[in-house]
Amino acid sequence: MSTSEKHTLIVGGGVIGAFCAWYLTKAGRKVTIVDRQQFGSGCSHGNCGYVSPSHVLPLPRPGQLLIGMKGMLERNGALKIRPGLNLSLWGWLLKFAGRCNHKDMMQAGAARNAILESSRTLYQQVIEAENLNVEWKTDGLLFVFKDKKHFEHFGESDSLVSKHFGVSADPIDGAQLAEMEPALKPGMAGAWHYKNDAHLRPDRLMSELHNRLLAAGVEIIPNQQVTGFIQHSGKVTGVRTVGGDITADEFVVATGPLTPMLNKELGCRIPIQPGKGYSITMPRPKICPKFPMLLEEAHVGITPFDSGYRIGSTMELAGYNTELSPERLKYLRDGATQYLHEPTAEPVQEEWYGWRPMTWDGLPYIDRTPKFENVWVAAGHNMLGLSMGTATGKLISELMTSQRPHIDPKPFRIGR
């Protein structure tokens, strides 16, 4: 059977699964997507929409251990860690702690830089070539500071990533910032402007991808949870779902934070923990920010869309908790209030939470499983699934069709 005749089944209809389907279809594969919920739900729906080459450095870095310890003690900080009796989370936290050093941070940064820069370029190409209506903006991203010491200290991080990865920002002092972004309250210390960052509206992206994939002949099967693999002669020949079996020649598992639930079937350990984030979507305030921004001391993200406005962030490591916490939503509102003249608007259109697929080293898994030669994993993109989506899809397609990878896949291997 030739490569172009093979049928690929993708488990997971988020942004990663969607772009895997996109590039595999371009390579001539017949593609089916199956998802436990609706296509484009989960973190692909309610995130802040950043495409962020600026996010080079991973979460595990020097000094993060102290922040993590505070996250276990504070009731409602930006980071909240509640491991309880969750042994897998305790093990993950120990691995994470071991990576909080300069050497590992820079190693992960190099891999993140490659995939983030590739994704940024590919987004521009795909959106322009396909004329996708996703509210795409290339105004960059502001990292906003209230405190002068914090603003100046961030310059060290900017110098580091500029020197080693070629990713740099323009410093904006308080007076310049007030003129550049009138939505901010007076008295800000300043901001760092990463001009190469971009943003889009995630739900619009997923809607556009859904329609384009269907038009390209991709079959999309929603509301069918995969419960296991069908095996024959050392290969997977199909998956079992609540609605029946689905057969294919090759498989991509792009199930984000739920990937560990398939570890037994995969025959390997994918150490992902769900990192719960929140967002609130509403109409644009009358004094609406011109730029998307991260309010650094509050750890809150702000995204102005053409058709709306979103506040998002927080990180909660507490297992697969399904509560929509009013306390965490209040944290977002309170954080935005510290910086913006009009932090919110009415009526609220959606209050949302999603589980981010967090890995202990800050890198995703993009690799063939060691047990099955025809099963691949594309998961664990931390808080950057949207940012890394295009490059991940292209890399999976290249690996599965024996093309030369456009970025080095070694940092994303299983069992690293």
pLDDT tens readout for residues 94-151 = 999 999 999 999 999 999 999 999 999 999 999 999 999 999 999 999 999 999 999 9
Residue 240's pLDDT is what?
96
Residue 123's pLDDT is what?
98
Q: Decide: 364 and 392 in contact? Cβ < 8 Å.
A: yes
Structural domains in the chain, CATH included, are: 3-412 (3.50.50.60)
For residue 215, give every residue at least 6 positions away whose Cβ sits within 8 Å of its Cβ, in sequence order, or none: none
Name residues of the chain where pLDDT drops below 70: 1-4, 68-75
- Residue written as tokens 């740099």? 168
Is residue 114 classed as helix, strand or coil in its secondary structure?
Answer: helix
DSSP state at residue 404 = P
Residue 234's pLDDT is what?
86
Q: For residue 308, give both structure tokens.
A: 């709306």
Amino acid, single-letter form, for residue 357:
P
Residue 63's pLDDT is what?
86
Residue 83's pLDDT is what?
82
Residue 71's pLDDT is what?
59
Which H or E element spans position 33?
Answer: strand 30-34
Amino acid, single-letter form, for residue 339:
Y
Residue 1's pLDDT is what?
47
Which H or E element spans position 68?
Answer: helix 64-73
Residue 4's pLDDT is what?
57
Residue 69's pLDDT is what?
67
CA distance 242 to 338: 48
Residue 240: is it exposed, middle or buried by C-beta count within 10 angstroms (0-12/13-18/19+)? middle
pLDDT digits 0-9 by tens, 67-100: 766 656 666 778 888 888 788 999 999 999 999 9
Residue 73's pLDDT is what?
60
The number of beta carbons lying within 10 Å of the beta carbon of residue 70 is 13
